[in-house]
Amino acid sequence: MTLSEGPIWYGQMPTSHPMGVIRVVFSRIGMAELHTAVQPDDGFEAWAAPLAGPQSAPQARQVNQALRQIDEYLAGKRRMFEIPIDWSVMTPFQEQVLRATYAIPYGEVRTYGEVALAIGKPNASRAVGGALGRNPMGIVIPCHRVVNHNRDLHGFSAPGGLDSKAWLLRLEGHTVVGQRLA
């Protein structure tokens, strides 16, 4: 799936956390993408500028609020996000998986099998992993809270891979030894 037709708005901010520079992208509906470890010269601005048009106050406010909330989360000061999400950028199956993942409370984890069971597809653990691997809004949709059945950290497509996943889990109070929850 792709961004809804129409304008997009984006903003980015540097962080002092391992996630590096964070970029959020919003459609008219809500957040559609979140990128970590953004490189300033990645060409995104040139691609987005013709689509963005003038940032109206409501959209600019949404972008800035999202960046503030993400920074608060990374600083350990926020546990829940109040950010509208554009679910239309996902396939129906991915939306099911990511909505179930979005519902995992701060500081808790689920296995791929538990997420599959939660969406009524108990034999779809691998497909759940595939959908999580294409999560366009990591951190906000907390795919880092999903682990292997034996509590091993498995699969994390964001920059930094499993080290980033471990950092996020530690931020939420988990003990991670090597690549496994203790």
Distances (CA, A) of 25 to 9, 52, 97, 132, 159: 6, 10, 21, 19, 17
143 is catalytic: yes
Per annotation, catalytic residue among 34, 100, 124, 143: 143
Active site residues: 143
